[in-house]
Amino acid sequence: PQPFRPRAEEEALVLVHDGSWDGLLTAVYAAYTGPALPGRVDGPDCQQAFGKTYREVETDGQKAARVRAGITRTLGGAVYDAAWTAFLAGDPGCSNAVYRYLRLGFESGREAYRRLSDDRVIAVNKRDSLVRREASHLLQFVRFSQRAGGVYYAAITPEYPVLPLIMPHFAARFRTQPFVLHDLRHRQAGVSSPREWVIADASGLTVPDPTAGEQAFQRLWKTF
């Protein structure tokens, strides 16, 4: 696919989304359907600067889906995955870093991402690497304990919200065994049954007690 032609930029305009990935994709949609490209795209907690115009963008699932499909079709699945994973880093500049990264691709084509010394590529690749490194570490060290009702449970406190990256691995590993992977820091839980898995808000999660066998095993482990 051919890259989009460069468009005029309204440097003082900042689009603000609700902090979700679909919110960011909706902001990208708004950027490319408006009269001029905004200078920045930021999340809801951005610090407003003098001389800038801030416009909130309401999240729209259909618009986000169109942008998602457009990124994958025009730039490739690997670029989409890198942008999404970089967004999970969650730092104040990640939304704008992803926006600038996507603009680079839309304006220059897929080969733009081979420019490893370009600051727009560096900004996304660095975040992508940090998030994936933590996810890889957790795959090796998460330990589940058996709980009442036959559910297996594990608690983690990752720096980044990596449940979407690691849940497919554990869902494949425990194909017929229900389990809960609880991210205490981000108040999320990956809940898996033999049929499907979901990520849900865990603010009110009540954790079942360990089984008697599990408690005995834990005592043995501590003694060891």
Mean pLDDT, contiguous 10-residue spans, the chain (224 residues): 66 96 97 93 90 95 97 93 96 96 90 89 97 96 87 94 96 91 96 92 81 50 46
Question: For residue 150, what are its two tokens?
Answer: 């036959």
Instruction: List strands edge to edge, sheet with 145-146.
Output: 145-146, 152-156, 179-183, 188-192, 197-201
**pLDDT in the model for residue 9:** 83
pTM for the predicted model, two decimal places:
0.86
**pLDDT in the model for residue 137:** 96
Buried b (16+ CB within 10 A) or exposed e, 181-206: bbbeebebbbbbeeeebebeebeeee
Query: What is residue 155's three-state secondary structure?
Result: strand
d(CA 78, CA 70): 13
d(CA 137, CA 192): 21
